């Protein structure tokens, strides 16, 4: 398969492109690999993990805020289930990519602010402007808050 054919395949059948690319890499046929798209895909993997980490941290803060500051006991159990599940997913992401722990620390307050703004739109409750949750990632992801 030529380089041009490989690039066309990338746009027309991504799954087949992946299969062909993996096959070329395993066979050490490096000169036949579609490097431009391969590099783009590898870069996007890191971005995807960062987006997922950010999204899940916002979800965690939203549900922690609801559970702690919204007086609707009938909803507590569902919020607690989401909190527990989100903590678990965040731990999984960080276990797979421990270097993202530093990234989580840099986005921590921005994620809290975004969650706060979302909850202020959704609920008429007195949410704190300053994040009331632990900044220690291990505590945030393991303790019942």
For 3-17, the pLDDT digits (tens) are: 667 778 888 998 999
Q: How is 25-89 classified by DSSP, letter by letter?
A: HHTT-GGGS-HHHHHHHHHHHHHHHHHHHHHHHHHHHHHHHHHHH---HHHHHHHHHHHHHHHHH
- Minimum mean pLDDT range among 1-5, 69-73, 91-95, 117-121: 1-5
Q: Is the pTM of this model over 0.85?
A: no
With a CB cutoff of 8 Å and minimum separation 6, the contacts of 71 are 125
Q: Quote the pLDDT of residue 124.
A: 92
Query: CA 71, CA 67: separation in Å to the nearest integer?
Result: 8
> 50-89: per-residue pLDDT in tens?
999 999 999 999 999 999 999 999 999 999 999 999 999 9
The answer to whether 87 and 79 are in contact (CB under 8 A) is: no
Q: Give the position of tokens 């270097």.
A: 99
Six-digit token string for 84 = 């527990």
């Amino acid at each position: 398969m030529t380089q041009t054919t490989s690039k066309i395949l990338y746009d027309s059948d991504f799954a087949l492109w992946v299969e062909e690319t993996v096959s070329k890499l395993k066979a050490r046929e490096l000169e036949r690999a579609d490097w431009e798209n391969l590099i783009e895909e590898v870069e996007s993997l890191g971005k995807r993990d960062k987006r997922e980490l950010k999204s899940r941290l916002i979800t965690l803060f939203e549900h922690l805020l609801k559970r702690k500051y919204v007086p609707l006991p009938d909803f507590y159990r569902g919020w607690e289930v989401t909190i527990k599940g989100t903590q678990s997913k965040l731990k999984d992401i960080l276990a797979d990519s421990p270097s993202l722990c530093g990234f989580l620390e840099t986005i921590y307050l921005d994620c809290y602010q975004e969650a706060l703004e979302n909850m202020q739109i959704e609920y008429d409750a007195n949410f704190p402007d300053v994040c009331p949750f632990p900044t220690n990632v291990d505590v945030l992801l393991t303790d019942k808050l």
